[in-house]
A and B are shown apart, each in its own frame.
Chain A
Amino acid sequence: MAQEKSGNHGLGRTATDVEIRAWNIDIAPTGEGLPPGRGTVQEGRQVFAQKCAKCHGQTGVEGPMDRLVGGHGTLKTDRPIKTLGSYWPYATTLYDYIRRAMPFTTPQSLTPDEVYSVVAWLLYQNKIIPEDAVMDATTLPAVQMPNRQGFVPDPRPDVPKR
């Protein structure tokens, strides 16, 4: 009987590749983790209308839930509008989040092509990619988000003492 090599307590067992693949759904900014598949703005328009517009509005602006489109240039103003177009630093996060948590009532139900296409439509609505762009594991990580340089590390404590 082979003794488990690492660790001190001999608890747990080695995870199989199949087990890891089943749960390993995160997408890194490098694109690592993106599945095969592709999506277009046209397809995304239809998927969004069917599965997303009820909560986010026909154009991604109207709500009632989070506004997804617009707000560009508002972050310094008295009324900042944080959308994926104006605020999110990485396009890959869109794929990761929509795949893991959307649609809200049926999360993790979209196919890879549906996720790619909704991502394409949302990026197009935010004027980040052209209407004929195709999103896949190669093109999505290459998308430059407008607020990519907008984040800074935690500088606290930041409030001077009296």
Chain B
Amino acid sequence: MSQKPTLSRRTFLTAASLAGLAAAQAMLQPLQAQTPDAPTVPEDPTKVPGAPPSAYGQRSSFEQAQRLAGSSSSLTPLQDLHGIVTPASLHFERHHNGVPLIDPARHRLLIHGLVERPMIFTMDELKRFPAVSRLAFIECSGNSAGEWHEPGGQTAQQTQGLISSSEWTGVLLAIVLREVGMKPDATWMLAEGADAAAMTRSIPLAPALEEALLCYAQNGEALRPEQGYPLRLLIPGWEGNVCIKWLRRLKLGAAPFMTREETSHYTDLMPNGTARQFTLVMEAKSVITSPSGGQQIRPGFVEIRGLAWSGRGRVTQVEVSTDGGETWRKAQLQKPVLAKCHTRFRFPWRWNGQEAILQSRCADETGYVQPSRQALVAVRGLHSIYHNNAIQSWKVSRDGAVHNVHV
């Protein structure tokens, strides 16, 4: 197709829209603008031609949900989202020395070590392999790290926002490793990023080979730079740090490589002074995203909504308590319920204006049940930092304000 007609048409539409807008502005009293750069809003959108098509879509100027960014991470606004897919633009970030700028035409993946033949792949070659897509969550094992001692965050974004779910597309790691030929004594794999931290993690090969993907796409388009563009590793259900972004090297070995990120960090210090290492699976967890901290509710019908997930497989049940864990009732699970992915749950509630404490707890297909904070702390103490999957409590005050509390 020639581009010319499209351009002409767009030019025409733009001109027409501008003319229409000018006419509307002359005729109609504009509503108050929401923000300084918000467009003038016609009183009746049926009386004014709308905006023309655009090359890359933007959300409505009325929508304000955004990540909460710190120096090396940003948090997903769980309380503002619906369904199970996190928009790529709102997927949480964690990086260890910034987001590198990488030209995909120059990017290479090197695979070496205990292989029959060390090889280099271009992005074009990786995309030519048989592709697979799947939905999966990625959760930083530091999610809720600020909640061990006392209620740390005010909102669901602050308490649980280091998790997001996307549809990921790429080639199975197992297929690419077949191409290089694994030597029989290869049991571990070092994955390394092309960022300024040259982030590295050791990954046990056998379990990773089941599902690991070398991903180049997220929610239908190329990975976002902050998600590893042009290539990242995804090991569904495992802590986000092993899903190495900007992936440029895989080295097979016979033992873990003992990098800084699997020794001094991402290890869980126990009360007896030992530390757990290679705690890779993210255990089942859930959070009520609405009503949640920082929100305000009114008496009457309130649909309690939230997210549940398990790194061990499918969520089989979510229960909701409105009385601080005294009684529990089953929530409805929105289909599809997918393994190692967000599951949306809902629970119809009628708020009578009295104090309430809202909680959710989930179970997964292995029979594992999300623990209370007390049960988790009784085993792990207060200094393990990572893998806090305790039940979250939101207190509803009589005035309808919702706060993060420990019970």
Q: Is the CB of A155 within 8 A of B179?
A: no
The verdict on B257 contacting chain A, using a C-beta distance below 8 Å, is: yes
With the chains together, A102 CA to B400 CA distance in Å? 49
A101 and B96 contact, Cβ closer than 8 Å, known pairs A6-B180, A15-B118, A23-B248: yes
In the complex, chain B residues whose CB is within 8 Å of the CB of A82 = 264, 269
Q: Is the CB of A153 within 8 A of B278?
A: yes
Binary flags per residue of B243-275, CB closer than 8 Å to A gives 1, else 0: 000001101010101111001100101111111
Q: Is the CB of A107 within 8 A of B198?
A: yes
Which of the segments A25-33, A37-45, A49-57, A125-133 contacts the partner chain? A25-33
Q: Is the CB of A13 within 8 A of B119?
A: yes
A151 and B180 contact, Cβ closer than 8 Å, known pairs A12-B125, A24-B112: no
Q: Is the CB of B259 within 8 A of A101?
A: no
With the chains together, A88 CA to B196 CA distance in Å? 22
Interface residues of B in 84-134 (CB under 8 A from A): 96-97, 110-112, 116-122, 125-126, 128-129
With the chains together, A12 CA to B198 CA distance in Å? 23
The verdict on A36 contacting chain B, using a C-beta distance below 8 Å, is: no
Q: How far is the CB of A152 from chain B (nearest CB, A)?
A: 5
Q: Is the CB of A76 within 8 A of B272?
A: yes
In the complex, chain A residues whose CB is within 8 Å of the CB of B248 = 23
With the chains together, A24 CA to B403 CA distance in Å? 50
The verdict on A90 contacting chain B, using a C-beta distance below 8 Å, is: yes
Q: Is the CB of B264 within 8 A of A84?
A: yes
Interface residues of B in 116-155 (CB under 8 A from A): 116-122, 125-126, 128-129
In the complex, chain B residues whose CB is within 8 Å of the CB of A104 = 97
Q: Is the CB of B260 within 8 A of A93?
A: yes
Give the residue of B179, B196, B273 whose beta carbon is less than 8 angstroms from that of A12: B179
A154 and B278 contact, Cβ closer than 8 Å, known pairs A12-B119, A88-B263, A101-B96: yes
Q: How far is the CB of B75 from chain A (nearest CB, A)?
A: 22
The verdict on A92 contacting chain B, using a C-beta distance below 8 Å, is: yes
Q: Is the CB of B279 within 8 A of A156?
A: yes
A92 and B258 contact, Cβ closer than 8 Å, known pairs A11-B128, A158-B379, A160-B375: yes
Q: Is the CB of B197 within 8 A of A11?
A: no
Interface residues of B in 174-212 (CB under 8 A from A): 175, 178-181, 190, 192, 196-198, 200
With the chains together, A80 CA to B379 CA distance in Å? 17
Give the residue of A23, A80, A87, A162 whose beta carbon is less than 8 angstroms from that of B264: A87
Interface size of A by CB at 8 A reads 49
The verdict on B349 contacting chain A, using a C-beta distance below 8 Å, is: no
A161 and B369 contact, Cβ closer than 8 Å, known pairs A15-B119, A93-B259, A100-B198: yes
Q: Is the CB of A25 within 8 A of B198?
A: yes
With the chains together, A7 CA to B180 CA distance in Å? 6
The verdict on B301 contacting chain A, using a C-beta distance below 8 Å, is: no
With the chains together, A13 CA to B108 CA distance in Å? 11
A157 and B368 contact, Cβ closer than 8 Å, known pairs A15-B110, A23-B110, A162-B375: yes
With the chains together, A155 CA to B283 CA distance in Å? 12
A75 and B197 contact, Cβ closer than 8 Å, known pairs A6-B180, A23-B110, A26-B190: no
Chain B residue with the shortest CB-CB distance to A96:
B259
Q: Is the CB of B263 within 8 A of A9?
A: no
With the chains together, A46 CA to B120 CA distance in Å? 40
In the complex, chain B residues whose CB is within 8 Å of the CB of A108 = 198
Interface residues of A in 55-100 (CB under 8 A from B): 75-76, 80, 82, 84, 87-90, 92-93, 96-97, 100
The verdict on B236 contacting chain A, using a C-beta distance below 8 Å, is: no
The verdict on B376 contacting chain A, using a C-beta distance below 8 Å, is: yes
Give the residue of B179, B269, B379 whose beta carbon is less than 8 angstroms from that of A9: B179
Q: Is the CB of B277 within 8 A of A26?
A: no
Q: How far is the CB of A19 from chain B (nearest CB, A)?
A: 6
Q: Is the CB of A24 within 8 A of B197?
A: no
With the chains together, A158 CA to B381 CA distance in Å? 13
Chain B residue with the shortest CB-CB distance to A33:
B257
Q: How far is the CB of A161 from chain B (nearest CB, A)?
A: 6
The verdict on A8 contacting chain B, using a C-beta distance below 8 Å, is: yes
The verdict on A159 contacting chain B, using a C-beta distance below 8 Å, is: yes
The verdict on B280 contacting chain A, using a C-beta distance below 8 Å, is: yes
Since A87-B264, A101-B196, A151-B276 are in contact, a sample of 17 more A-B pairs with Cβ atoms closer than 8 Å, ordered by chain A residue number, is A6-B179, A7-B179, A8-B178, A9-B179, A11-B125, A15-B110, A15-B111, A15-B118, A15-B120, A28-B253, A75-B275, A80-B269, A80-B383, A151-B277, A158-B379, A158-B380, A159-B375
Chain A residues in contact with chain B, CB under 8 A? 5-9, 11-15, 19-20, 23-26, 28-29, 75-76, 80, 82, 84, 87-90, 92-93, 96-97, 100-101, 104, 107-108, 150-162
Show 17 A/B contacts (Cβ-Cβ < 8 Å), sorted by A.
A6-B116, A11-B125, A11-B128, A12-B121, A12-B122, A23-B110, A23-B249, A26-B257, A26-B259, A80-B383, A92-B258, A93-B258, A93-B263, A96-B260, A108-B198, A151-B274, A159-B379
The 7 A-B pairs with the shortest beta carbon distances in the complex, nearest first, are A7-B179, A76-B273, A97-B260, A75-B273, A6-B181, A100-B198, A15-B118
Chain B residues in contact with chain A, CB under 8 A? 96-97, 110-112, 116-122, 125-126, 128-129, 175, 178-181, 190, 192, 196-198, 200, 248-249, 251, 253, 255, 257-260, 263-264, 267, 269-281, 283, 368-369, 371-372, 375-376, 378-380, 383
